[in-house]
């Protein structure tokens, strides 16, 4: 399997943060998205951002912005599909997705997902910790894009509802001082993320 492309999923509505783009909130010396990009970019062959609305708000990131092709905020699977369609135009065989509000995911996420898929002989791999599956962190084959499009058009929204049909490997990651897939949903979470970043 060649090195996959990366897609950052930022298509959510951030209701618990009062709307807007959680990824653009300040964290450390930049934004949450800056942290995410710094972690995923060295692991992939190219990178894009899945987001809806005016793409100009992300222009400073210098990344292609992919909007959902399925209307009505269809959830992370719609972002996965946007990424697969983009990857197909690049001749890539796989993408890896990460969430835009999860700044501490493992620096070896991609090789671990690839190894899990290969070892278990499954087309899809998802991240897992002792706290459960993390379905926005996955390895996805471009070959399944039309199947996913059909699933979304017939109303499928939950990631695991679709992945379980196709067979899914689990890449297991340890939980240290905190779950590496901790995500920022509320102002309290943002304060917690800042404390994690500062090691306090």
pLDDT tens, residue order, the chain (200 aa): 789 999 999 976 544 444 568 899 999 999 999 999 999 999 999 999 999 989 999 999 999 999 998 887 788 999 999 999 999 999 999 999 999 999 999 999 999 999 999 999 999 999 999 999 999 999 999 999 999 999 999 999 999 999 999 999 999 999 988 999 999 999 999 999 999 988 75
For the chain, how many structural domains are there in total? 1
The CATH number of whichever domain residue 189 belongs to comes to: 3.90.550.10
Comparing CA positions, the residue from 26, 27, 32 lying closest to residue 8 is 32
What is the pTM (predicted TM-score) of this model?
A: 0.94
Helices of type H across the chain: 32-40, 76-89, 109-120, 145-153, 159-166, 187-198
CA dihedral of residues 47, 116, 146, 69 (deg, nearest 10): -40
Domain of 133 in residue numbering reads as 5-198
Q: How far apart are CA 49 and CA 83, in angstroms?
A: 8
State whether residue 138 is helix, strand or coil.
Answer: strand
């Amino acid at each position: 399997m060649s090195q996959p492309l990366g897609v950052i999923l930022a298509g959510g509505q951030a209701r618990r943060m009062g709307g807007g783009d959680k990824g653009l909130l300040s964290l450390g010396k930049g934004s949450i998205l800056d942290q995410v990009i710094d972690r995923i970019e060295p692991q992939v062959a190219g990178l894009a951002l899945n987001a809806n609305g005016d793409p100009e708000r992300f222009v400073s990131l210098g990344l292609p912005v992919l909007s959902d092709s399925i209307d009505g905020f269809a959830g992370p699977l719609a972002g996965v599909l946007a990424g697969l369609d983009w990857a197909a135009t690049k001749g890539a065989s796989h993408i890896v997705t990460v969430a835009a509000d999860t700044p501490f995911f493992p620096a070896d996420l991609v090789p671990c997902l690839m190894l899990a898929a290969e070892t278990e002989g499954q087309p899809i791999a998802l991240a897992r910790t002792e706290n459960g599956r993390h379905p926005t962190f996955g390895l996805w084959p471009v070959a399944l894009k039309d199947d996913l499009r059909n699933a979304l058009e017939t109303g499928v929204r939950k990631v695991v509802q679709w992945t379980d049909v196709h067979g899914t490997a689990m890449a297991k990651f340890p939980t240290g001082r905190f779950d590496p897939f901790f995500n920022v949903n509320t102002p309290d979470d943002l304060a917690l993320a800042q404390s994690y970043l500062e090691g306090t």
